[in-house]
Amino acid sequence: MTRYILKRLLQGILTVWFIATATFFAMHAVPGDPLSGDKAMTERIRANLEAKYGLDKPLMTQYGIYLKNIAQGDFGISFTQENRKVNDIIREHFPVSATLGILAILFAGVGGILWGALTALYRNRLPDTIIMFLVILGISVPSFVVAALGQLSMVNLNTFAGFSILPIGGWGTIWHMIVPSMVLGLSTMAYLTRLMRSSMLEIINSDFVRTAKAKGLPATRIFSQHQLRNAILPVITVLGPSIAAITTGGFVVEIIFAIPGLGRYFVEAVQQLDYTVIMGTTVFYGAFLVFMVILVDILYGYVDPRVRVS
């Protein structure tokens, strides 16, 4: 197991290096450079600025410095916000995105597992039909429409109540987090529901469930001890990629609900062509996702002993 973890970690570091390299050379392949922006400047100012950002050195030297800095966890200074470190930007905005993402994953995971189990138990009956219809709808409606509808229903709810039950945007208290995280987790929940349903259907017809029934175990115990625990396994495998989907999907929700998260900041940085912020957040997000997937894979080994053997 230790060997496996080490191997995966090594692979992860290689992947992050690949992402960093791809981002670096991609950004340097862009026609023009960060300084040829809107402001006209003299040769001397330009030379000074280039020296400040290290743009006067040869490309490979810059790459070496860049890699060394990343290895030390330093992403440089923002181009558009003078003297603001990219690390500070990430430190300030990432916790917000992470909180939102964790809540969304919790919502998606718990909801998906429960709905999926429920639909499987009521297979081809009314609850199944209704939930699966909603699930298909949840997969088919774009996230920004769901976000807009979520906000609209909050507005209507507040108008109906006559006072502000839930804030329609911003960040701060737990009340700000409820609707955005539900909106963010919705499509993942729909996907997990489908997965859970098919996995549960397989489990329901398996031998050990029949044996449990034959032993005379109560239905609730069969459900919690035998069916649910085994059916959850495939859901855990896709949790890694789901985290990726939720963090990237966070852009829209952060924009619509005016949440000061890193996703929104990234979109702004791209619009302003803030090169160091773009590179820094890309590498940071990439590393985060890679290690989340590895973490989920390792956890999976603990949850399902069969994986450890193979």
Q: Which of 2, 140, 205, 220 binds other proteins (CB under 8 A)?
A: 140
Q: N- to C-terminal Cα distance for the chain?
A: 11
Our finding on whether 136 is near other proteins (CB under 8 A) is yes
Q: Which of 26, 47, 110, 161 binds other proteins (CB under 8 A)?
A: 26
Spell out the residues 6+ positions from residue 38 whose beta carbon is closer than 8 angstroms to its own.
Answer: none
Angle at 137 between CA 132 and CA 142, to 5 degrees: 145
Spell out the residues 6+ positions from residue 52 whose beta carbon is closer than 8 angstroms to its own.
Answer: none
DSSP H helices, the chain, are 2-29, 43-53, 59-71, 86-121, 126-140, 143-161, 174-204, 207-215, 219-221, 228-237, 239-256, 262-271, 275-303, 305-309
Q: Which of 5, 6, 10, 22 binds other proteins (CB under 8 A)?
A: 22
Our finding on whether 15 is near other proteins (CB under 8 A) is yes
* Cβ at position 146, least distance to other proteins in Å: 10
Q: Which of 152, 219, 299, 303 binds other proteins (CB under 8 A)?
A: 152
Our finding on whether 282 is near other proteins (CB under 8 A) is yes
- How many residues belong to the site for other proteins (CB under 8 A)? 44
SS3 at position 225: helix
Our finding on whether 141 is near other proteins (CB under 8 A) is yes
Our finding on whether 281 is near other proteins (CB under 8 A) is yes
Instruction: Select 92 or 268, whichever has its Cβ closest to other proteins.
Output: 268
For 177, phi and psi rounded to 5 degrees?
-90, -20
Stretch that binds other proteins, among 18-26, 65-73, 120-128, 216-224 (CB under 8 A): 18-26
* Cβ at position 211, least distance to other proteins in Å: 26
Beta bridge partners of 77: 85
Instruction: Select 241 or 301, whichever has its Cβ closest to other proteins.
Output: 241
Beta bridge partners of 85: 77
DSSP state for residue 77 in the 8-state scheme: B
Our finding on whether 143 is near other proteins (CB under 8 A) is yes
Classify the phi-psi angles of 191: left when phi > 0, otherwise alpha if psi is within -120 to 50, otherwise beta: alpha
| Nearest of 288, 286, 284 to residue 102 by alpha carbon | 288
Our finding on whether 166 is near other proteins (CB under 8 A) is no
Q: Spell out, one character per residue from 221 to 250, where the chain touches other proteins: x when CB under 8 A holds, - when not.
A: -----------------------x---x--
Stretch that binds other proteins, among 36-44, 65-73, 207-215, 274-282 (CB under 8 A): 274-282
Residues that bind other proteins (CB under 8 A): 11, 14-15, 18-19, 22-23, 26-27, 29-32, 136-137, 139-145, 148, 152, 155, 244, 248, 251-252, 255-256, 266-267, 270-271, 273, 278, 281-282, 285-286, 289-290, 293
